[in-house]
Amino acid sequence: MALPDDERARPADAVTANLDADGKELMLDRLLDYLAQPSVSATGEGFPAATHRAVREMKLAGLETRVIDTPGRPAVFGHRAGPAGTPTVLIYGHYDVQPAGPLALWHTEPFVPVIREGRIWGRGTGDNKGQHFAHLQALRLLLETDGGYPCCVKFILDGEEELGSPHLAALVTDNAGLLAADVVIWSDGPVHASGRWCVVHGVRGALAVRLTCRGASRPLHSGNFGNVVANPAWTLVSALASMRDKAGRVVIEGFYDDVPPVPAADEAAYAEMPLDLARVLADAGVAEMDPAHGELDYYHRLGAIPTLTINGIETGDLKRTIIPNEATARLDVRLVSGQDPARVLAAIETHIAKVAPDAEVTAEMGMPASRTPLDNQFTPLLAGAIAAVTGEPPLLVPALGGTLPDYVWTSILGAASLGLPMANIDEANHGPNENLEVDRYLTGIAISMSVLRALAAQPAGAPS
Amino acid sequence: MALPDDERARPADAVTANLDADGKELMLDRLLDYLAQPSVSATGEGFPAATHRAVREMKLAGLETRVIDTPGRPAVFGHRAGPAGTPTVLIYGHYDVQPAGPLALWHTEPFVPVIREGRIWGRGTGDNKGQHFAHLQALRLLLETDGGYPCCVKFILDGEEELGSPHLAALVTDNAGLLAADVVIWSDGPVHASGRWCVVHGVRGALAVRLTCRGASRPLHSGNFGNVVANPAWTLVSALASMRDKAGRVVIEGFYDDVPPVPAADEAAYAEMPLDLARVLADAGVAEMDPAHGELDYYHRLGAIPTLTINGIETGDLKRTIIPNEATARLDVRLVSGQDPARVLAAIETHIAKVAPDAEVTAEMGMPASRTPLDNQFTPLLAGAIAAVTGEPPLLVPALGGTLPDYVWTSILGAASLGLPMANIDEANHGPNENLEVDRYLTGIAISMSVLRALAAQPAGAPS
């Protein structure tokens, strides 16, 4: 076997990822070097070198690698067949990072990664380089030890995830054959707040809209024009208030259509998930949960129903005694699986047409939820593989909370998609002092190896 | 008679203000020189020289003058008795000006006044130096010609009008004896939109409040906290929307209490006031008047009822899919005579306590309306005096539109207070290229002389 151009010694015990001190140091040194390459998709900092670097790391892991161009930042794709009859796993990650943000708030340089107090500090540690690099190192260790992978592996690194992956859906549609897989595994975001490893079975979708009400051609003196010229701020607050009843339930006709009942497996999962509600509320600085959904517990609020959130309202400054000439609200909806963003948008438009016919509704973003049933065939394999490394079964998490473009795998590719987040809950992704616990990174490598071996037991279904 | 230190020749025909070319030039030269002295109360630019200059101009007009200190910019007061038994008129103006604002938008230097195309251009031309200087020149002409004034005159120049006259009420209360007068005359703002001179019988009051709803201790991710943590923006829009019914009528209990029926004299005045509604609407860039008050015509909307205006709403920017942690609206109320700002504030507070108990209501400003009945004894004298100069009776305008601290004269001093605005409607006060038509300034001098003479016919009532 022709090893790639890395002259450092192979770590002992790599086969089980029971790395010795040298092996751990090697895994960390490689990550630090990878993290030092900036790759800010929003500004272009580090491009195109960052793409080349991703290609190199995938090649080092043994993957046959190519760049897939998009109208924005390119994606990087690699694949390598496993033994005949083994299933194909597609691992998804992203090699772009958020801008570093205000340097004054960083304790160390964002692109000079360092290890301190058991954590790796730097932009991209948790989001997402540390996580997909753990998978790449697992592949590399498997290749070095066994001379091949236990199953067929495809790997795609998005170059625009921090921009909302604007071209990913088209890329997946155009390359559905290339990407076809039995199961997609992605590692992003933190583990459960309790610290437990978990397997995530989807994400909520999202829809963002702007609602704009217009009045006069300029702000007007409230004394000279009050009562004479209509105020778009009144129109806006009335239109917004009309979207909910007094209990806080959304009364936009059709808003809750297509919201399915919670499957029994999800109910069971909710019941098993630990919750320190007092800590959640204290962290948010509130005394109680939103009274608007009194009948629902914490996890049902995050997973069983959609949200309707006013993100903000703008009218111009508050300094003058004027009638504003424009008032805009931005709202977002977190969609559950089964809801079509276009249908929910239409419901909002129809509602606004009734209550504020002159208001303008502009859709900013729409992305369906993704859902992989908890009783799919891969989850037990992953759960067992994780437990084999950590000694504890992972939490099985139904789709809840935030939004990722995970639907491209479940809806466009038609694959099961399972999340295996590795970061500590306080990874500070997107913020200053982003970090990843050393132990989680090293355990992530071991878990990835364990998972790939376990998946080999599953018969192949997708073309490889 | 000892003339003040002005070596220039007295204009011919000054007694009637039928000024010849030299006389007009003198009146204009003096004003240009006065305007060149900056007096920006907000920044302090030109102070204390501006106060000394106001003292000097009042002394030149023959007034015994003193500075009245306040915790902010000083006021300047002067007085001179007229013949025994004549009434006392107090003339109110302000020597401070607005900041010049963006110099790039000025066609000439704001404090290098020039005359072009029949107008004087510069900061303070219309607001308010050109107007109170016309009165000062009228006094000076009367003094030069007749050796005295036709009636007792008091003159006060506010140094903080552009800051909202924060210390005027206390000053008037503390100096009620000094300021006592039969009638107050103020010249500020423009004549009627039609160009007609007018006598203004009061102004609406104002109340400004902030309504703040608070949520979490920081903005929260709408996916991770939506439905879990209450959104103060929903609370705010619901609270605001609850203030009006569907027709746009304010439903805050007690809001319309104390709104008196329109007096017959005001009804008659409304009916006589010209209106080019199409022009008003075109200027505002709207197709129709606010449907919320369909039963009221233009002047009744501006004078007969109070307003409730949302000046603006703020929650933070609209860029992120977050739950804002704070949402604030600022509202102002334009009050009609008879309404107590404190009572209206209490009505708003009571309403908010019912609909949004955790919201905070903060009063920013409260000032009652002023009203001098149209059938007071001075109006016919002023109207006649104006008609004698212009050949046309002035419009009699009930209290409507904006707000000035005119209540200090009607409520604290207990005097009639009549507005005699001189500026052209497009004076651009507060904006760049502020200006005053030369003819209006010169006519203003003549009208002031005519008015002071006419008032002499009225028996004295107040201590002089």
Integer distance in angstroms from the first to the last C-alpha of chain A? 22
Q: Is B305 on the interface with A (CB under 8 A)?
A: yes
Same domain (yes/no): B343, B435:
no
- Within a domain: B464: no
Nearest CA in chain A to B403: A223
Check pLDDT > 90 for residue B14.
no
Same domain (yes/no): B358, B375:
no
Check pLDDT > 90 for residue A273.
yes
Chain center to CA of B440: 18
User: Of the residues A367, A387, A412, which one is the last residue of a structural domain?
Assistant: A367
The pLDDT of residue A462 is 54
Q: Is B216 on the interface with A (CB under 8 A)?
A: yes
Q: How confident is the model at residue A15 (pLDDT cuts 50, 70, 90)?
A: very low
Contacts of B296 in chain A (CB under 8 A): 227
Contacts of B223 in chain A (CB under 8 A): 204, 206, 307, 334, 401-403
* Structural domain for A92, as ranges: 14-203+370-455
Minimal CA–CA distance to A334: which of A250, A278, A273, A239? A250
pLDDT tens figures, B382-392: 999 999 999 99
Contacts of B329 in chain A (CB under 8 A): 233, 318
- Within a domain: A289: no
User: What's at A132, amino acid-wise?
Assistant: H
Q: Is A294 on the interface with B (CB under 8 A)?
A: no
Q: Is B397 on the interface with A (CB under 8 A)?
A: no
- Within a domain: A282: no
b/e map of B157-179 (b: 16 or more CB within 10 Å)? bbbbbbbebebbeebbeeeeebb
CA separation for the pair A373, A450 (Å, rounded): 22
Mutate which: B299, B311, B330, vs A, most A CBs within 10 A: B311
CA separation for the pair B306, B299 (Å, rounded): 12
Contacts of B331 in chain A (CB under 8 A): none
- Answer whether the bond into residue B128 is a cis peptide, omega within 30°: yes
Same domain (yes/no): A437, A347:
no
B356-359 — which CB contacts under 8 Å span 24+ positions?
B356/B213, B356/B235, B356/B236, B356/B238, B356/B239, B358/B213, B358/B214, B358/B235, B359/B211, B359/B212, B359/B213, B359/B235, B359/B236, B359/B239
Any bridge partners for residue B116, and if so which? Answer: B119
Contacts of B236 in chain A (CB under 8 A): 237, 313
Nearest-neighbour CA in chain B from A397: distance (Å): 14
Query: ipTM value of the model?
Result: 0.89
- The minimal CB distance from B229 to the residues A242, A290, A401 is found for A290
CA separation for the pair B74, B51 (Å, rounded): 7
> Which helix H or strand E contains A313, and what residues bound it?
strand A307-314
CA separation for the pair A403, A146 (Å, rounded): 37
User: Of the residues B339, B367, B395, which one is the last residue of a structural domain?
Assistant: B367
- The minimal CB distance from A312 to the residues B244, B301, B315 is found for B315
pLDDT tens figures, A157-213: 999 999 989 999 999 999 999 999 999 999 999 999 999 999 999 999 999 999 999
Nearest-neighbour CA in chain B from A243: distance (Å): 10
Measured N-to-C along each axis, helices A438-455 and A130-146 cross at an angle, to the nearest 10 degrees, of 50
Strands B88-94 and B152-158: parallel
Number of Cβ pairs < 8 A linking chain A and chain B:
226
Cα B129 to Cα B95, B121, B441: the distances in Å are 6, 12, 10
Q: Between the CA atoms of B10, B12, B18 and B20, what dihedral angle is there, to the nearest 10 degrees?
A: -100
Asked whether B211 and B360 are in contact (CB, 8 A), the reply is yes
- How many distinct structural domains can be found in chain B? 2
The pLDDT of residue A17 is 60
Nearest CA in chain A to B310: A233
Same domain (yes/no): B89, B161:
yes
Q: Is B307 on the interface with A (CB under 8 A)?
A: yes
Q: Is A401 on the interface with B (CB under 8 A)?
A: yes
pLDDT tens figures, A86-139: 999 999 999 999 999 889 999 999 999 999 999 999 999 999 999 999 999 999
Same domain (yes/no): A198, A347:
no
Q: Is A27 on the interface with B (CB under 8 A)?
A: no
b/e map of B46-59 (b: 16 or more CB within 10 Å)? bbeebbebbbbbbe
Contacts of B285 in chain A (CB under 8 A): 216-218, 325
Nearest CA in chain B to A301: B227
Minimal CA–CA distance to A356: which of B248, B297, B287, B298? B248
Tokens at residue B334, please?
């334009």
The pLDDT of residue B461 is 72
Contacts of B221 in chain A (CB under 8 A): 402
- Within a domain: A103: yes
Nearest-neighbour CA in chain A from B304: distance (Å): 11
- The minimal CB distance from B284 to the residues A216, A285, A403 is found for A216
The pLDDT of residue A317 is 79
pLDDT tens figures, B424-450: 999 998 889 999 999 999 999 999 999
Nearest CA in chain A to B317: A312
CA separation for the pair B62, B60 (Å, rounded): 5
Query: What is the mean predicted confidence (pLDDT) over A409-414?
Result: 96
pLDDT tens figures, A322-337: 999 999 999 999 999 9
Nearest-neighbour CA in chain A from B300: distance (Å): 9
Q: How does DSSP assign B333-344, residue by residue?
A: EEEPTT--HHHH
Per-residue DSSP letter, A16: G
- Within a domain: A354: yes
- The minimal CB distance from A228 to the residues B236, B298, B329 is found for B298
Tokens at residue A454, please?
């376990």
Same domain (yes/no): B73, B199:
yes
- The minimal CB distance from A229 to the residues B238, B290, B334 is found for B290
Same domain (yes/no): B325, B209:
yes
Listed in sequence order, the DSSP H helices in B216-308 are 222-225, 232-241, 264-272, 277-284, 298-303
Chain center to CA of B296: 25
Any bridge partners for residue A244, and if so which? Answer: A250
Q: How many CB atoms lie within 10 A of CB B261?
A: 9
- The minimal CB distance from A402 to the residues B221, B292, B323 is found for B221
Residues in chain A: 464
Check pLDDT > 70 for residue B319.
yes
Listed in sequence order, the DSSP H helices in A157-256 are 168-174, 176-179, 222-225, 232-241
Same domain (yes/no): B448, B385:
yes
User: Of the residues A367, A385, A401, which one is the last residue of a structural domain?
Assistant: A367
Same domain (yes/no): A36, A174:
yes
Nearest-neighbour CA in chain B from A193: distance (Å): 12
- Within a domain: B380: yes
Nearest CA in chain A to B283: A217
Listed in sequence order, the DSSP H helices in B255-404 are 264-272, 277-284, 298-303, 341-355, 379-390
Longest dimension (CA), chain A: 85
Interchain CB distance below 8 Å, A226 and B334: yes
Interchain CB distance below 8 Å, A305 and B215: no
Nearest-neighbour CA in chain B from A327: distance (Å): 8
Asked whether A331 and A287 are in contact (CB, 8 A), the reply is no
**CATH number (domain holding residue B332):** 3.30.70.360
Q: How confident is the model at residue B462 (pLDDT cuts 50, 70, 90)?
A: low
Contacts of B237 in chain A (CB under 8 A): 236-237, 240-241, 310, 313
Strands A416-419 and A183-186: parallel
pLDDT tens figures, B23-78: 999 999 999 999 999 999 999 999 999 999 999 999 999 999 999 999 999 999 99
User: What's at B207, amino acid-wise?
Assistant: L
The interface residues of chain A toward chain B in range 230-269, judged by CB-CB distance below 8 A, are 230-231, 233-234, 236-238, 240-242, 244, 248
Question: What is the phi/psi pair of residue A277, to 5°?
Answer: -60, -40
pLDDT tens figures, B102-120: 899 999 999 999 999 999 9
- The minimal CB distance from B289 to the residues A218, A222, A228 is found for A228
pTM of the model: 0.88
- Within a domain: A60: yes
Same domain (yes/no): B323, B427:
no
User: What's at A19, amino acid-wise?
Assistant: L
Same domain (yes/no): A349, A417:
no
Burial (CB < 10 A; 0-12, 13-18, 19+), residue B345, is middle
Q: Is A305 on the interface with B (CB under 8 A)?
A: yes
Same domain (yes/no): B22, B99:
yes
- Within a domain: B236: yes
The pLDDT of residue A3 is 36
Check pLDDT > 60 for residue B6.
no
Asked whether A88 and A464 are in contact (CB, 8 A), the reply is yes
Tokens at residue A73, please?
């930042």
Burial (CB < 10 A; 0-12, 13-18, 19+), residue B393, is middle
pLDDT tens figures, B254-277: 999 999 999 999 999 999 999 999
Asked whether A122 and A164 are in contact (CB, 8 A), the reply is no
CA separation for the pair B97, B440 (Å, rounded): 20
> Which helix H or strand E contains B308, and what residues bound it?
strand B307-314
Longest dimension (CA), chain B: 85
CA separation for the pair A308, A256 (Å, rounded): 11
**CATH number (domain holding residue B172):** 3.40.630.10
Question: What is the phi/psi pair of residue B307, to 5°?
Answer: -105, 160
Minimal CA–CA distance to B154: which of B132, B170, B169? B132
pLDDT tens figures, B162-215: 998 999 999 999 999 999 999 999 999 999 999 999 999 999 999 999 999 999
Contacts of B222 in chain A (CB under 8 A): 307, 309, 311, 332, 334
Interchain CB distance below 8 Å, B318 and A311: yes
- Residue carrying structure tokens 């399915």: A260
Interchain CB distance below 8 Å, B234 and A218: no
Nearest CA in chain B to A193: B224
User: What's at B340, amino acid-wise?
Assistant: D
Asked whether B309 and B315 are in contact (CB, 8 A), the reply is no
Interchain CB distance below 8 Å, A242 and B240: no
- The minimal CB distance from A323 to the residues B309, B317, B325 is found for B309
